[in-house]
Every structure is written in structure tokens, then in C-alpha cells.
Structure 1
């Protein structure tokens, strides 16, 4: 991968279809990496309602799934960076994420 002066990332050399250089912006590259970890997440293979319980509902099942997830850290990092206010992300509720942000911030 080569970084271009305008922030574009040249990836993969030439396209096999058109013979043109394949370019990807940094935003597109980060989006692709983000999509990769999300595709590996265990929550993507289970009932999403468990991760967004009703107020006062149990988070136990979602947190149990998160603890076994290989991309838990990436998920938590995403939630903290994007200020996710709802649901279980990286094994933590919104309240737990806010507390963590105060501790590390």
C-alpha cells in the first residue's frame, strides 16, 4: 500500500478488470477495517435484541457473548470513539462505558 500526497491510499496495484490503479481514501480504508472486525463479532451471529435490552432489562446474555468474542476490544474501542449511548458494546453497558471514559480521560 502506498500513501499518496492527497491522503489516498493506493492498494493492490492494478485492477484486474480495468487495468486501472485501485485507490482507496483513508476513510474508506478505516471503514473496511471496521467492517472486518464487525463481521467477526459474535453479536453479528446472534439476536441483536439481546444487545439492546429494554430499560431495566437483563444484559447478562449479551455480556456473556461479549466475553467469548475475539473482537471485544475493537468493539469497545469503537463504542468509546463514537460515543455510543445505547446497547452493550465490548461487554459494557452505556453506564459502564461512561465510567470507563471518566477513568481513562
Structure 2
């Protein structure tokens, strides 16, 4: 019998994410590369807010999450203190 763990169920939102259908290269680009394409995809994603909440709650420091870059999430954290 399979029992879904809390960690697995907490991440169920990822299945509906557009990034799951496009691949991680857009969302984790090489340093200095543009994140414009990732942000365009995020703007169309129905679970963007859940993604951003996850990134902020888990202190994700790399990549584009919920339409925000590392710097933008850091700035958001600083202003929300």
C-alpha cells in the first residue's frame, strides 16, 4: 500500500507547473544569462503564486521561482521583514 508523505503532497502543485513541461534550463540559467524567457513562462503559469510561496518558504537561492529571480526574491524578503 502506498501512503503519500507530507513532503510529496506538499509538492503536488508542481505537477501543474508550466516549468515542468519546458525543462529547467530556462529557470536555472548560467550566471549572467537572461531570465526573460523563464519570466514569460511564469507569467502564464496558473500556479505561479504557489511556486513563489514555496521558494520564499524554503529559501530557494537559485533560479527563477514564481516569476522572480534570485535578486528579486532577496529584495522581497528584505522588504517583508
Q: Hey, what's the Cα distance between the residues in 1 that align with 2:71 and 2:21? A: 25
Structure 1 residue 31: Cα displacement: 3.2
Aligned pair 1:55/2:31, yes or no? yes
What is the Cα-based RMSD across aligned positions, in Å? 1.8
SS of residue matched to 1:102: helix
Q: Which has the higher contact order (CA 8 A, sep 6+)?
A: 2
Aligned to 2:76: 100
Structure 1 residue 30: Cα displacement: 5.3
- The structure with the largest alpha-carbon Rg is 1
Change in 2 beyond 3 A, CA 1:23/1:38 = closer
Q: Structure 1, unaligned stretches of length 5 or more?
A: 1-16
Structure 1 residue 36: Cα displacement: 1.8
Q: Cα deviations across residues 31-75 of structure 1 (Å, max 9, x unaligned)? A: 31x332100000000021010011110100000000000000000
TM-score by length of 2: 0.89
- Regions of 4+ moved over 2 Å: 28-31
State the aligned residue count: 81
Change in 2 beyond 3 A, CA 1:67/1:30 = same
